[in-house]
Amino acid sequence: MNNVKVKCRRAEVKQTALTSSCKVHGNPIAVSSDGIGTETGNSPGITRPRTSAGCQNRLLVGEQVYRNYLKLSVRLRHRLYVLLAFCWCLGWAAVAADWYLDRAATGLNNGASMADAWTNVNAVRWSSILPGDTLWIQGGVYNQHLDVANKNAIIVRIASNATQKAVFLGGQLYNADNCVIDGWLNGTQFFRFWSNCSHGANGYLVRETTNAVIRGIEVDRSAVYIKDVSQNHCIALGSGATDFITIDSCHLHHTTGDGINQGFTPALANHYRSVVVTNCTITDVGDDGMQLGGQITVVGNYVDNNNFPTYFGGHPDGLQTGQYTGNIKVFNNTFRGFNQNVFIEYASSNVYLYNNILMGFRTNGTDRAFNISADRQTATVTNVFTGEWVLANNTMYNFLSFSAINGGLPANRDSVKAFGNNLFINCKILAPSYMAEWMTTNNVYWDIPGTQFFDTTGAPCTLPSDRGIGLARNLDPKLVSPALGDFSLSIGSPAIGAGKNYSTYFTTDKAGVTRGPTWDLGALECQAETLLPPTNLRVEPVQ
């Protein structure tokens, strides 16, 4: 019998220090210019804090802005524009400056060094902080608002030797294009915002801003949400925020509204970077984990309702996109416990939903993994889907009282490029009967023995006669431990190698492992290396 060494990848997502990227089991997945996740060894964005920060940070910011100008100039075929942008960035590099904020400093309080740091936010001379400069913040309790307003291309970053979090009441970016707020250090969010009295009680607010990165912040409203008189969000992307907003490696929790709420309409079309949300943990929200528009990429996040109460008429969804929006990429995420874990409402173009794990736990109601819709025609609205629709390699678990997938696909069947390799575990109904035609043999469903199903009132019930199965196969995929959140495939699983190759649309699994030539079902590949005994050996005497 051959010896078999099995390497089954686990479902958890590890955070990294790469801007606009996620990293799972050592493999970074960067968000490229069109929002498509690709494996890479280096992030195209801002890098880690450096102790010799001045010129380096200015070069980094300049490089990022230069890239944006370069893309625009290529489109316009305007070489002089490129030259001017390049010279502008070189000018930045020559005069970089670092500034410092430390509540425990005892020096001159002029911000020129950590010893002479400003000791409170109100003392910061923002007029001295010029494009490309970095404001380094030491840990400590400030209990003031960290507001960056009317600035361009500056970096606000946690000190590289910080040992405690820098705590603020709240914060905002206002009229602050090309800026970076970076509290990410040693795998932890070192900027913490816990209340916000001056900005509508949202934890962190972005307004009148484009091309910004918010990275490594924690918004914890657990001490104040009970006092809310209307919904408030952890991060609010408000009026005037337009495109290229990246929210990376943040921890957002305990609020009556959304984890992230987008309140602006993208200015540009046909891309996937109006808002990029990556590597974030969002839990305990009274409404949606994320309520976003179109032109978005959502990758590598953990989003959990955690049975948190609903406030002020909320209808909690893990991710909800706006009506009649398009260009939506949602992949490599875990969603748990929402009424609609992913809600795509009347999409207009290009929807990619893959490598997601979606979990239910309620025994009543209408919780589902996906609620999806495309075309719509009314007296006032005509919405006809264009482009590609991909729904593949998702693992859906424990939707006990309703349908795992609800809604409908585009009427133009040619738009549906991939609907397969999905696993349905303990799902009362797989999909509506009119979607059964898409339930081909490369979809698998399984009911773990002893599972009890329920009607929407919570009464125990038997399985319905029409579960929307279509040609999906009833097989035990032999997951390692779904009850404990481990959705890896065990050795011998019939889901190994049973999938269709969708490499036209994506090439890795949720853990960043390259898929196939033969693909497994579900969000995670199970890679096994078979160690065969040697053959054709000859024994020769030693001379």
> Rounded to 5 degrees, what are φ and ψ at 386?
-130, 155
Q: Which is higher by pLDDT, 541 or 142? A: 142
Tell me the mean pLDDT in the region 496-509: 97
Provide the pLDDT for residue 32.
Answer: 45
C-alpha to C-alpha distance for 103 and 119, rounded to whole angstroms: 4
- Across the chain, mean pLDDT equals 85
- Taking alpha carbons only, the member of 10, 24, 15 closest to residue 247 is 15
Q: Among 153-157, 201-205, 418-422, where is mean pLDDT lowest?
A: 201-205
213 contacts 244 by C-beta, under 8 angstroms: no
Whole-angstrom CA distances from 201 to 172, 280, 348, 376 are 11, 21, 33, 36
Provide the pLDDT for residue 534.
Answer: 52
R_g of the chain, CA atoms, integer Å: 25
> Rounded to 5 degrees, what are φ and ψ at 275?
-135, 130
Residue-wise pLDDT tens digits, 342-355 = 999 999 999 999 99
C-alpha to C-alpha distance for 166 and 48, rounded to whole angstroms: 18
| Confidence label for 316 from pLDDT (cuts 50, 70 and 90) | very high
Q: Say if residue 3's pLDDT is above 80.
A: no
3-state secondary structure (DSSP) of residue 89: helix
352 contacts 379 by C-beta, under 8 angstroms: no
Rounded percentage of the chain residues whose pLDDT exceeds 90: 74
Length of the chain: 543
Distance of CA 249 to the CA centre of its chain: 9
3-state secondary structure 357-426: EEECCCCCCCCEEEEECCCEECCCCEECCEEEEEEECCEEEEEEEEECEEECCCCCHHHEEEEECCEEEE
Provide the pLDDT for residue 240.
Answer: 86
Other CB atoms within a 10 A radius of the CB of residue 500 amount to 18
245 contacts 272 by C-beta, under 8 angstroms: no
Q: Say if residue 41's pLDDT is above 80.
A: no
C-alpha atoms less than 13 angstroms from C-alpha of 166 in its C-beta half-sphere:
33
400 contacts 425 by C-beta, under 8 angstroms: no
C-alpha to C-alpha distance for 195 and 205, rounded to whole angstroms: 12
The owner of tokens 């905002």 is: 172
Tell me the mean pLDDT in the region 370-392: 96
- Taking alpha carbons only, the member of 261, 243, 85 closest to residue 177 is 243
Which amino acid appears at position 219 of this protein? V
Beta bridge partners of 486: 481
Question: Rounded to a whole number, what is the distance in angstroms from the first to the last CA of the chain?
Answer: 34
Rounded percentage of the chain residues whose pLDDT exceeds 70: 78
Angle at which helices 79-94 and 54-76 cross, to 10°: 170
**Token pair for 380:** 């006032």
- Taking alpha carbons only, the member of 440, 462, 373 closest to residue 409 is 373
| Confidence label for 542 from pLDDT (cuts 50, 70 and 90) | low
Provide the pLDDT for residue 142.
Answer: 97
For 462, which DSSP code? P
Q: Say if residue 176's pLDDT is above 60.
A: yes
Provide the pLDDT for residue 195.
Answer: 78
Q: Say if residue 96's pLDDT is above 60.
A: yes
Q: Which is higher by pLDDT, 89 or 433? A: 433
CA dihedral 144, 149, 154, 157 (to 10 degrees): 20
Residue-wise pLDDT tens digits, 220-276 = 999 999 999 999 999 999 988 889 999 999 999 999 999 999 999 888 888 999 999
Other CB atoms within a 10 A radius of the CB of residue 20 amount to 24
Residue 445 sits at the vertex; the CA angle it makes with 443 and 447, to the nearest 5 degrees, is: 175
pTM of the predicted structure, to 2 decimals = 0.83
- Taking alpha carbons only, the member of 246, 163, 174 closest to residue 207 is 174
Q: Label residues 460-469 b or e (16+ Cβ within 10 Å = b).
A: eeeeeeebbb
Whole-angstrom CA distances from 165 to 81, 195, 478 are 42, 15, 43
Residue-wise pLDDT tens digits, 396-411 = 999 999 999 999 999 9
354 contacts 394 by C-beta, under 8 angstroms: yes
Residue-wise pLDDT tens digits, 177-203 = 999 999 999 999 999 999 765 445 899
Tell me the mean pLDDT in the region 10-36: 38
Residue-wise pLDDT tens digits, 122-136 = 999 999 999 999 999
Q: Say if residue 419's pLDDT is above 80.
A: yes
> Rounded to 5 degrees, what are φ and ψ at 312?
55, 45
Q: Write out the DSSP string of 7-27.
A: EEPPS--B--S-TTEEEETTE
Provide the pLDDT for residue 201.
Answer: 80
C-alpha to C-alpha distance for 340 and 399, rounded to whole angstroms: 11
C-alpha to C-alpha distance for 28 and 20, rounded to whole angstroms: 10
Q: Say if residue 90's pLDDT is above 50.
A: no
**Token pair for 407:** 């809604």
CA dihedral 357, 361, 363, 364 (to 10 degrees): -70
Other CB atoms within a 10 A radius of the CB of residue 486 amount to 15
